[in-house]
Structure 1
Amino acid sequence: MAWVLKYDWRPVEFWRRLRWSDECSIERGKGAPSSGYIVGGVNLPLLNTPCALANCASTPAGEALEIWAIIQTKAFKGKPQMFWAAFGFGIRSDLVIMEGDQDAKRRGITAKVYLEVLAEHLPTILEHDIIFMQDNAPIHKAHKVTGFFFRRWG
C-alpha cells in the first residue's frame, strides 16, 4: 500500500503499464475440513476456499464471479498446491499450476520452476514499455531470477 500511495499522483497511463504476478498456495482440506469448491465451472479440487487467482483466471474478462458459479464439494486433505497468475489493466495470464522441482531435496517450488513459469507465461502479458511487479518473496530475489530479468530486459 505504501508503494501505491507513493505513486498515486501518476497519470492513468502509468497505471495501465503495470503488470503484477503472485503465487497462491492452497492446501486441500485446510481451513474448511469438509468442503471444497468448483469455481466458475472450473473444477479446482484442491481449493477449499475461492482464491483470488482462481477467481481472476476462471471468469471471462471484465465479468465478476457470480455466486451461482461457486459449487461446494467435499474436500480431502492432501499436499499443498502452488498456483501462479499475472494481471494488469485489461489483461491477465492463465492460472498456472506450479509443479514441484523433482531435483530439489523437498521437491518444492524452486527458482528453476519459477523461471520455467516466467519464461513461458510472461511473454503473454508483457509488451514494450511495461512495468512488471512482484512482491519480495525469496524466490523472486534468487540470483537466477534476478539474472533472468536483467538478461531479458536489462
Structure 2
Amino acid sequence: MGRIDTIDRRTDVVLLLFGYQSEIHGVTRLQKLLFLIEQETEFFQQYGEAVAFEFAPYKMGPFSEHVYEEIEFLDALGAITTDSTGDRRLFTLTPKGEKIAAEVESQLEPPYREELRELVDAYGELPLTELLEYVYSEYPTYTTESEIIEDLDVRS
C-alpha cells in the first residue's frame, strides 16, 4: 500500500474514528459517531463531500449504507476485526489498523486531531440510549423513520 498523503475517503474517516476509540460496540454506535463527525466538526467542513456518508432518516435515526461498506472493506483489509455476540457486533482495530490509522492521523492538521479526539471523548463511551437521545434531540429531522423514538427520552 502506498503512503497516505491526504484525507480523501470515507475509509480515512472511519480509520480516524477507530484511531481515537480502538473498539466500538455495535454498528448503531458507529453510525451515530460518524454522523456526529459530519454534523459537529470543522473537520467535516474542511473535507466535505469527499468523506460524506450521506446519512438519511431510518429505523434507528441517521443511517448510511456506506458505513457497512467501510466495515466490510476494513475487515477484509485486516484493519479491524468484527466479533458478533447475539445481535451485537464489536469492532476492534488490529495492529495493522493502528498503523494505518496513525498514518492517516499524521496527515491531519492538529486542530482537527483535537476536535475528533474531543468528539470521541464526549460521545464514544456514552451508553447507547444516551447517545441516541442526544442525536434524536439535536437532529430531529433524522428521526422521521424511527421505530424506537417512543422508547427514548427525547426533548422536542
TM over 0.5: no
Flag the structure with more relative contact order, 1 or 2, with Cα contacts below 8 A and sequence separation at least 6.
Answer: 2
- TM-score under structure 1 normalisation? 0.25
State the TM-score, normalizing by the size of structure 2.
0.25
Structure with the higher fraction of residues in helix conformation: 2
- Name whichever structure is richer in strand by fraction: 1
Larger Rg: 1
